[in-house]
Chains A and B, each alone.
Chain A
């Protein structure tokens, strides 16, 4: 009897359309681009600041325009999705064993959210928001 194994090709460009879980993975990965985009906006802001008061005020006005606000909302939504999707898998990468039992995943995820809130408050404090 002869062997002739049949190999099924996997699409290199459309593989993630096959399963919702692959789509969720792509969402997690792609949403990081919005964080990069926002970093570019901040860099642009610093550049405008160096160009003087008028340039900086123009930059602030652009941020406050309807388009600017929409951009912020979209970037915020993506950044939140990206952050939450990573925080929620941290117990897998960093399990904590105490004696014979593992610390529950909720505690590890919660600690990340806690640290996030504390750091955000510290940044806002430094920025003089309070």
Chain B
């Protein structure tokens, strides 16, 4: 019996010669323990050295191997061949421009991430040299889940709102803003609210929930966005109906 093979149909795009993307088919040996990334590495090593794609850790940690496999955004290093039919279609992450083959242009996400200030902003009156700021396990638990984000951008590829309205800040950036807002050591919420409570912030989200369904780290960005909406609404009521109450 001949060795079992799967057929990988990979999107190819060479900006120097192609006017639009095309698909190229590669027969790849099937191994029970192989993931799609192994299949791509096999192609690169044995069939076609010109194929471009991003990867680094091969263990779902670095977040660089996100791509569409049979129409679903996944980490190529976490997508086992055994979970797919023998015909597998591999495309670059949806909603991002294609730089070359499976490599996308991620500048938009990087800029949005920077805008939400995803780092601890201490209170102004707190000297940088202040003693260590202790946190109870309960305080850590408030935001721990959101620290697991690996910036893989699968949620942006899954989010139809981002596809239709590219100005939308998007799931991961807002979930990370929420992560710092919920941190007991942080005092930067007002600065972040300016960005995330705007129209292109949470209000472009209609709670499709696709981001949380595809998140490989179970961060649940959809939950974070709804919580930001509720908190922003409470802010509005406090500001307009109860101006004497301090936030």
Contacts and interface: CB of A to CB of B under 8 A. Distances in A.
B59 interface: no
B138 interface: yes
B229 to A, nearest CB: 8
A115 B142 CA distance: 27
A3 B16 CA distance: 8
Interface in B111-138: 137-138
Nearest to A102: B141
A19 B223 contact: no
B15 A5 contact: yes
B98 A2 contact: no
Interface in A1-57: 1-8, 10, 12, 15-16, 18-19, 21-22, 25, 29
B215 to A, nearest CB: 12
A77 to B, nearest CB: 22
Contacts of A12: 164
A19 B71 contact: yes
Interface range on chain B: under 10, 10 to 19, 20 to 34, or 35 or more? 20 to 34
A95 interface: yes
B137 A3 contact: no
A88 to B, nearest CB: 10
Contacts of A93: 223, 226-227, 229-230
A100 B206 CA distance: 30
B164 A15 contact: yes
B138 A100 contact: yes
A67 interface: no
B164 A21 contact: no
A6 B160 contact: no
Contacts of B16: 1-2, 4
A92 B94 contact: no
A32 to B, nearest CB: 12
A99 B137 CA distance: 8
A61 interface: no
Contacts of A22: 160, 208, 210
A89 interface: yes
Interface in A55-92: 89, 91-92
From B94, B160, B220, residue with most partner A Cβ within 10 Å: B160
A15 B95 CA distance: 12
Given A21-B208, A25-B209, 20 more contacts: A1-B16, A6-B15, A6-B18, A6-B21, A8-B97, A8-B98, A10-B160, A15-B160, A18-B71, A19-B71, A19-B210, A21-B213, A22-B210, A92-B220, A93-B223, A93-B226, A97-B141, A97-B142, A99-B138, A100-B141
Interface of A: 1-8, 10, 12, 15-16, 18-19, 21-22, 25, 29, 89, 91-95, 97, 99-102
